[in-house]
Structure 1
Amino acid sequence: MSETVAVVDYGMGNLHSAGKALEKVASGQRIVVTGDPDQVRHADRVVFPGVGAIRDCIRVITETGLDRAILDVIDARKPLLGVCVGMQALLDHSEENDGVDCLGVFNGRVAHFGEQYGETGNRLKVPHMGWNEVRQMHPHPMWAGIADNSRFYFVHSYCAVDVPEENISGMCHYGRDFAAAVIKKNVFAVQFHPEKSADAGLQLLENFLRWQP
């Protein structure tokens, strides 16, 4: 029987592109976009994406029981990939929306880029939107076939900081250094959008479908 890969759908954002990108690199796996906690819980692999405000994300997944399903997947040592707000929701706390407690899978917090200035002396544009380099902090199967300092596509106003060094798999710089990829056992999460990141992003998704943590 082929593996099932669940893309968590909690009603925030069009997940069509994420599902299609996974289908493009899948090798026999069945890709299911679902908001059913039981389908998420029983999938072989799970992608937890997200766009929009963290308060709404945490509220909806809590009300629907998807939060518990995601934590059950992690406890069962199944591979889970967090993307963008999905990554932020896995940290301890976000300062967005006057402060929101998150799932606490990773130590660290989510902070606004703030009134910062870049190397040119010009005020940073927020959101951080577009292509930026990601520095790989150590070898990992999720980086297989992806050159160090490859460029990925970002869209975000908040970023992960104060993450323990051992959990940081990729770093990015936009006015400040921030964790662009975090790792903990069977969980890998990224701030950028792999489905919008051309060949490097597709390679990351393909690596996820092959990853055996």
Structure 2
Amino acid sequence: MTGLVACDPGTLSLGEGVPAPRSSVPHVAVSTSAYWVREPLALVGIQRDLGREDEQILGLVNDTTLKGDNFLLMLAGSQGGADLPAFQLKSFVERVGGAPSPFSRVSDSDLRSGSDALGTYFWLEYRSGAQTNCVLAIRRLGLGSRILPARAKSLDVMLRNCVLGPIELALAPILADRIGSSVGGNPSGPRLMSPLAGPTL
């Protein structure tokens, strides 16, 4: 397990393999009751207000020896509504600071796809040896399926997860049974999520 996320929440966004900061706005640590999803593998959470969207990053357990940290990065946007624009893969990766290690490039042609109760999700695979498997997974959630963070009308999600086990285990944090509900709910009122169209360049 990497020690970075366990010892200093403020360094999570600067950790090796985690996308670089996109602005000078600092992250602040958040309690588990403020996490936007129910994630049992989360070791620490940080968050910041970027104006038109809020960003929350959860540092996840990593039992592999690969360089970099496992994380779930979420962008809660205040723009949009029932008809969100098509998800732009290239612009999303740029928004979050680029593809994390060990993924050097991301394109639509490389993506695999699956679906669950919340709709479609997409991922890349990286395999190291017989047991270590990594995914870089993304999905967009909009109005229609569950409570969103306050002010949000969409939730864009990126998962970097390397595990000692199958790809299905690596994908677990971005699937509906984990990401389909929040820890504490939303006291400001219901804002729901729904699946959206797939990534386009």
TM-score of the superposed pair, with normalisation by structure 2 = 0.31
